[in-house]
Chains A and B, each alone.
Chain A
Amino acid sequence: MKQTITVTWLCADGASVTAEVPLGHSLMEAAVAHNVPGVIGDCGGALACATCHVVVESAPIPLPMPSATEGEMLEFTEAPAEPSSRLSCQIKAVPELNGLILRVPGP
C-alpha cells in the first residue's frame, strides 16, 4: 500500500504547493516541512495558537468533525474563519484523504 497521500495547498498569493505526506503525519507538520506560506504552527500542534489555519477546498471524503476545542480555537485565527475552516494540526494524513486540496486564507 502507498505510504503517502498527495495533498495540495492553494496559497494566498495564487501559487500552490503539492506534496506527498507520509501517513500519520499532521497536515500542519507537512505544510511546515514544505514551507507552505501562511501555515506556521507556532504551538507545535498543541491546539493552542491557531496559526495553522486552512480552509478545506475539496476532500475525497468528509473530514471528521472538529473537536469542541478546535472549534473554540478557530475564533483566534488571523484571517476570519470560514464554514469549512480547520486547524491543520488536527488533520492526520490517512489513505482516504488522498487528493485533498486545502486553501491557506490570506491576511
Chain B
Amino acid sequence: MAEATTQGDGRAMQAGSSSIPVLNLDPYAPETIDNPYGFDEALREAGPVVWLSRYQCYATGRFDEAQTAFSDDSRFLCTAGVGLTDIRKPESLRDKNPLMEVEPAVHRRVRGNMMKILSPTLMRSYRARFEEKADAIVAQMVKKGRFDGLHDLVEPFILDVFPETVGIRINPETVLLFGDLNFNANGPMNQFYKEALERVSPHLPDFERSFRKENMQPGGMGARLYEEEEAGVFEPGTAFGFVRVLFRGGFDTTIAGISGALLALSRDPAAWAYMKDNPDKVLNAFDEALRHVSPFRVSHRVTVPEGCEFAGARLEGDRKIAIFMEAANRDPRKWPQADRYDPSRAAVTEHLAFGHGAHKCIGLLVARYEAEALLRAVIRQVDQLTFAGESEPAYRRINTLRSLVDLPLEAH
C-alpha cells in the first residue's frame, strides 16, 4: 500500500514512510458512503493515526485520539478549514466560517459574544413552544398510523421551529439543498460534490439573499448578530457568515439525528421498552442515536506549522488530519458493544457527534431541546413504534453526512 504514496509528492512519501501506517482506502467511495463501517474499522485498527494516501492527509478513527485532535489547539488548528480542502488555497471553493475557521484567540472572543445572543436562557424559553408543536404533529402521525418519519414528521418539525427560534426566514422547498451542498463540499471535489453543485447552483443567489440583514426576523437572534456587528462587537462583514452558520448547522444534522433515533427505536424492542419505562431519559435516546450513526461523519483540523507529536508518531506541519467521528463513536476501546444501539449505556453523552472542546457545536442546546420535544411526544403518544420498510433503510449519498432517504414507520 505504501507504494501508492511514493510517487509524485515527496512530502507524502516521507509522511507515509515513518511509523505511520498508510491506508489506501477511499472513505468517499459510493459503496463506503452506503455502508461506512468496514472502512471505519479498517481505519481504527490500522493505528491510532494513519496516512490517508488518496487524500494526502492524516486520519484518526479512535476515540481518545479524535478527542485530542478536536480539542488540543497547541497541536491542531481550524485555520485551514474544517473540510478536507484547504480554505487558504484558491481551489477550495468553501467560504470561511468566521466563527470556527479562525485563530483560537479570535474564536474565544467571537464565541463568547455569540453565546450572549444564542443564550441558553433564551433557548430554554422556547421549550414550551417546541413541546406544544411536537405534541400536535405527533398526534397527526398517530392518527395516520403509517407515515414517513423523515418527510412527514422530523423535517417539517425542524423546518418549522428552528427558523423561528433563531429568527431567520427560510424557503422550506429549498433550504435543505443548501445542506446537501455543504456536506458534500466538506469532502473531496468528487462526483457527489459536482452533482450537488449542479443541483444547487440555481438556488445559490437565493441562499445568499436569505443570509442578509433584511431577511432577519425583527428582534430575533439573527437580527441581533447584525446589530452587534454594527455596534462593533463583531468584525465588519462577519454577521453574514454567522447567519450562514445557522443555515449550515441548524437543519441537516438535527434532522438526521432525530430520524436516526426514531429508526433505532422502531427496530429495537428492548430500546423502545427502555424509553417507555424511562421517558425522562429521552435525551439519551438522541445522544445514543448520534453516537451509533453519527450524522456528521468527519471533520478536519490542520497541524501547527512546526508539526507535532501525536499518538506516538511525528506529524508534519501544516497537514490536514481527518477526524472520523463516525469511527470514534464506535471505537470498542471506548464503547462496549459499540455497534449496538443502547440508550441505557454508561457515558451516553460522551460521543463526539457534536465535536469536542472549544469548537463543540454552538447550537447543540437548541438541537437537544428540539429532539427532546419531538422524541418525548412520540414516546408519550405511541404505544408501539415499528419500522415499516420492506428493505434495509437506505442513506443518501452525501460525502460527509449520514442521512436517511426515507423512514417508513407505523405507530399504534
Contacts and interface: CB of A to CB of B under 8 A. Distances in A.
Interface of A: 41-46, 48-51, 68-69, 72-73, 75-76, 78
Q: Taking each of B124, B283, B349, B364, which has the highest tally of chain A beta carbons within 10 Å of its own beta carbon?
A: B349
Interface string B346-388: 0001100010001011101100110000000000000000000
A44 B368 contact: yes
Interface in B288-324: none
Contact of A45 (B121, B349, B362): B349
B365 to A, nearest CB: 5
Contact of A76 (B119, B287, B349, B369): B119
B96 interface: no
Chain B binding surface, main DSSP class: helix
Given A43-B368, A48-B360, 14 more contacts: A43-B120, A44-B283, A44-B368, A46-B354, A46-B364, A48-B364, A49-B120, A49-B365, A50-B121, A69-B108, A73-B115, A76-B115, A76-B120, A76-B121
A68 B108 contact: yes
Say which size band chain B's interface belongs to: 20 to 34
B112 interface: yes
Given A48-B120, A49-B120, A43 B364 contact: yes
A50 B368 contact: no
Interface of B: 108, 112, 115-116, 119-121, 123-124, 283, 287, 349-350, 354, 358, 360-362, 364-365, 368-369
A107 to B, nearest CB: 12
Contacts, number: 47
Nearest to B287: A44
Nearest to B363: A48
Contact of A42 (B119, B350, B358, B368): B368
A43 B115 contact: no
A90 to B, nearest CB: 14
Nearest to B123: A49
Given A48-B120, A50-B120, A42 B369 contact: yes
A73 B119 CA distance: 9
Given A73-B115, A76-B119, A76-B120, A43 B108 contact: no
Q: Taking each of A48, A72, A76, which has the highest tally of chain B beta carbons within 10 Å of its own beta carbon?
A: A48
A48 B361 CA distance: 9
A41 B116 CA distance: 19
A43 B365 contact: yes
A73 B369 CA distance: 18
A73 B114 CA distance: 12
Contact of B360 (A41, A46, A51, A75): A46
Contacts of A75: 116
B245 to A, nearest CB: 15
